[in-house]
Amino acid sequence: MKASDLIGRPVLDSAGRRVGIVTDLRCIQDGPLRGAMAAPRVHEVILSSRRVGSMLGYQRQEQRGPWLVRLIVRWLHRDLMVLPWESVQLSDDGEIRTLTVTGDRHRPR
């Protein structure tokens, strides 16, 4: 599996309605040790209704940057959600992978 198999994919709810599109995968370096460091392991899925347009890091509270850019980007992605990986079910139907929300969702920190 590749990161691009998940990033950009729609996420559905249990009724099959689209919840959003995966814009990023938040990892913590707590995976299996590979060489000098632990592999980044996915802990959260970041969703937005918008396919186009990066958050430019503004989904993070510590990202300050120019305030006008921050305001615009956050407004464009005002529906951003973060799902714990445990609340997402990954089904692998050949080439097409589908993510379905089965648990909690919350706004980003």
Q: Counting Cβ atoms within 10 Å, is residue 74 exposed (0-12), middle (13-18) or buried (19+)?
A: middle
Under the binding rule (CB under 8 A), the answer on residue 32 touching another protein is yes
5 burial type by CB count under 10 A (0-12 exposed, 13-18 middle, 19+ buried)? middle
- Binding residues for another protein, rule CB under 8 A, total 33
Q: Is 12 in the site for another protein (CB under 8 A)?
A: no
Q: For residue 102, give both structure tokens.
A: 């089965």
Nearer to another protein, 30 or 79 (CB): 30
Nearer to another protein, 17 or 93 (CB): 93
The residues that bridge with 20 in the sheet, in sequence order, are 11
Contact footprint for another protein (CB under 8 A): 1-7, 23-32, 34-43, 46, 54-55, 57, 85, 90
